[in-house]
Amino acid sequence: MLSDARAFSHTDANAAPPYLLELIGRAERAIEDDPALTRRYLDEVRDLLSGGGTDPMDRVLLPSAVPVDGNGPTKGGLAAWQIRRVRDHVERHLESAILIEDLANVARLSPGHFCRAFKASTGDTPHGYIVRQRIRRAQTLMLSTRDSLSQIACACGLTDQAHLTRLFRRLVNETPLAWRRTWQAA
């Protein structure tokens, strides 16, 4: 336990780092509405406490719903190659409109079958996944650029800053401006 405290010491050995507290807070807020999201947050906390994981700043981003390396196909779900192709397509086209029909074509399925299989594989709808990825991109841009929130919204395929704020608050439970100030200071 003492080694965990030393691993996180940045100013005070007894103080938890802000990103760890933020993850715990996110898990608490999501526990009733989204158990799968809560599980992902708690997995990240466990990884941090066990010394695993990557750069701590990667931990401040909203987790992705699509597994990076699937644990094998889920019954009725997408194959690993389909998940990879859909994830790559979304990433390449995030700044523009992404239609379910386009994603279904990428996975070589009908739109209806694709939506059911995507949900079975990820626990999220294709639209929910796209929104989550847009917010993750917005978070990355907020940390790495000095662009205005309006410019960031457009770069993420959202209509305007109000749209960004509405989605951001729904997923992250705070406004983009408050989140940016917190994490830029960290």
Summarised one tens digit per residue, pLDDT across range 40-57 is 777 777 766 665 555 555
Global pTM exceeds 0.85: no
Summarised one tens digit per residue, pLDDT across range 81-114 is 999 999 999 999 999 999 999 999 999 999 999 9
Q: Classify 61-186 by CATH class.
A: mainly alpha
In whole angstroms, what is the distance from residue 106 CA to residue 87 CA?
10
For residue 74, count CB atoms less than 10 angstroms from its CB and return exposed for 0-12, middle for 13-18, buried for 19 or more: middle
Quick one: which of 156, 162, 116, 117 has its CA closest to 136? 156
pLDDT number for residue 53: 52
